[in-house]
Amino acid sequence: MYEEVSISVEQASDAKVLIISVAAKLAGMHPQTLRQYDRLGLVQPGRAGGGGRRYSERDVALLREVQKLSQEEGVNLAGIKRIIGLEQLVGELQERVAQMEAQLDAAYRRVAELETMVTYPGRDLVRQERPSTALVVWRPRRPGER
């Protein structure tokens, strides 16, 4: 029936160059199924100048995942849409965490760099030889007080 083609989502291209019949064949589906998945928002193909759908290798990998979830795992299309949305969110959050980790590493490097440049480390701290017995009392301001 259909020839088995393996595409890794991580390595798949985002170029929207595959016409619907080719994408359907690669995904092992009927073109009408792809049209339905487009209407449901499970996959977002690009559009050619004449309005025809164009799919990427990543779209085909996603379609195969949809098919697997539907046929092998018994997940309905609403559930699949939710799973896809959550997976995209996780990917975005992982990317954001990686960016923040890189920024934190850069900040730590900068702090270490600045610490090596300081002639007298901790110079703005005053060492106190004996423990203080001072008591600080705080009271909130009343309206109208300055």
Q: Which domains does the chain have, with CATH numbers?
A: 18-102 (1.10.1660.10)
Q: Could you give the strand order of the β-sheet that contains 18-19, starting from the edge strand earlier in sequence?
A: 18-19, 53-55, 46-47
**pTM value?**
0.59
Q: What are the pLDDT digits (tens) for 50-78?
A: 888 899 999 999 999 999 999 999 999 99
Q: What are the pLDDT digits (tens) for 79-117?
A: 999 999 999 999 999 999 999 999 999 999 998 888 887
